[in-house]
Amino acid sequence: MNLLAFDLGGSGGKVMEGHFDGKRITLSELVRFEHSSVLMGDGLYWEIAGIYRNLLDGLRKASGPVLSLGIDSFSNDFGFIDKNGELLTPVRCYRDERTSRYADYVYGKISPRRLYELTGNQNALFSTLMQLGAMQAAGQDWILDNAYKLLFVPDLLIYFLTGEAAAEYTISSVSQLYSYSDREFSKEVLEAFNIRRDLFGPVVMPGTVTGQLRERLCREQGISPFRVVSVCEHDTASAYLSSPLDRRDAIIISSGTWSLMGCELQQPLINEAAYRHNIANEGGYPDHHRFLKNVMGSWIIQEIRAEYRFKGIEYSYAELENMAKKATPFAFFIDVDDTCFFAPGNILGKIEESCRQRYGTVPEDTGALVRCVYESLAMKYRRNLELLKEVTGISFSVINIIGGGSKDSLMCSFTANACCLPVAAGPQEATVLGNILVQLIAAGKITSIKEGRNIIVDSFPTQVYEPEDTSRWKEGYDRYCALFPVK
């Protein structure tokens, strides 16, 4: 049985083919590509046509009969279509600076506290609501008034494939437009911003068969028709499903461009403490609700590589890691979630300026700079571990790092050391596997996520990192806390 998963991240995408023999899952890579946002004028955009072209390339390379396809991606970004299905505007990137210019406009209509009460989402510049508010404040509300549908990126790609317009639940749930209590887009939020409910498609749950590939598409691409399943389209929702640690006391870190650090709860947790610490409630497959903190993740390292590449120097992740190992421990800390690191560009200068402000000096070489980022990220994990324990009342005893970051042995060991907990690393292709699990449930081949996780354990063993040198890391964490106290 062959199932296709298209996983689109902030720096790259891939089409993977999953093979299920009834006991184990194996994966084959059909297409992998890098991509990035492009600055055009004052706007930051995704090259959606190129993304779609790579998706089609992957569909053509499938090895045999395909049962279904699932698509997942980063959240909050969207495209508008008209009644004829034509794309009305380019797809903006959530890192576009327009949201910072117009944040006061949004919070002038609904306060951050009320937004959290209504949606349970973190207050952040990148949300769909912030982007729509920025459009209105900039005089682009005519687009909202005249568009036929707003489609989140995975739903937009599905529309291109099938002609069906929907709003999948997990990616809708993190838009700052969705109400968990109403199980629908929030009437209060929509009315406050004069946004039509029919601008969005019907909310569909993960596991819904959305449609079949268009006949013309199959004819032109030379592929046989198959169905498209709305999986957990928010990539973090898919990734969490593949965690082999099916237990309440586990912290899960989906590690990629962003690190999404949290735990699974059966219901949203929306209270004063969660609001104060800006902890996100995110919808998942039933009974797999996520309660987590967003951390900047490997974005800063990706930006370091990109800046050196622009200068004609190509560093691999392994090379950067080896340089970091040789640098002096705990020499510099930064707040990896500082808003100065959010937008692309000049990352080396930003890190140096942050260090200069606090230490009066800067990292002396690339290894010291990268070690500063890795150690600061591990310290942020420790901070968030304590916040999540405080708000949930759960005593966590293990951390599972999934996704691309699970292959970074230095970061995994730093995380174990900083948090004083064992780290189970893997699976690496977590998002793809979660995508495939939902397709298997939709096909009736497995009955639950628990069953699927057991299959993943048998198919993709994890590597365990035990904490070491914890007293020294505790001293480093105390210095970190003195520099960056909890607000």
By CB atoms closer than 10 A (0-12, 13-18, 19+), residue 133 is: buried
* Single-letter amino acid code for the residue at 98: R
Q: Which 3 state secondary structure label does DSSP give 26?
A: strand
Q: Which of 77, 235, 335, 408 is catalytic?
A: 235
Beta partners for residue 72, in sequence order = 7
235 catalytic residue (yes or no): yes
C-alpha separations of 326 from 120, 266, 363, 375, 379 in Å: 43, 44, 13, 13, 19
Q: How far apart are CA 264 and CA 282, in angstroms?
A: 10
State the angle between helix axes of 299-310 and 366-392 in degrees (0 to 180), rounded to the nearest 10.
160
For residues 71 and 206, the answer to whether their CB atoms sit within 8 Å is no
Length of the chain: 487
Tokens linked to 189: 């939020």
Provide the H-helix boundaries in 183-298. Answer: 187-192, 215-221, 235-241, 272-276
- Nearest in space to 330 (alpha carbons), one of 371, 365, 275: 371
Task: Collect all residues with Cβ–Cβ distance below 8 Å to 362 and sequence separation of at least 6.
Answer: 332, 351, 352, 355, 356
Q: How far apart are CA 463 and CA 447, in angstroms?
A: 27
Tokens linked to 157: 């790609």
Handedness of CA 456, 458, 461, 465 (dihedral sign): positive
Tokens linked to 386: 């304590």
For residues 340 and 125, the answer to whether their CB atoms sit within 8 Å is no
Q: How far apart are CA 161 and CA 228, in angstroms?
A: 8
The catalytic site residues sit at: 235
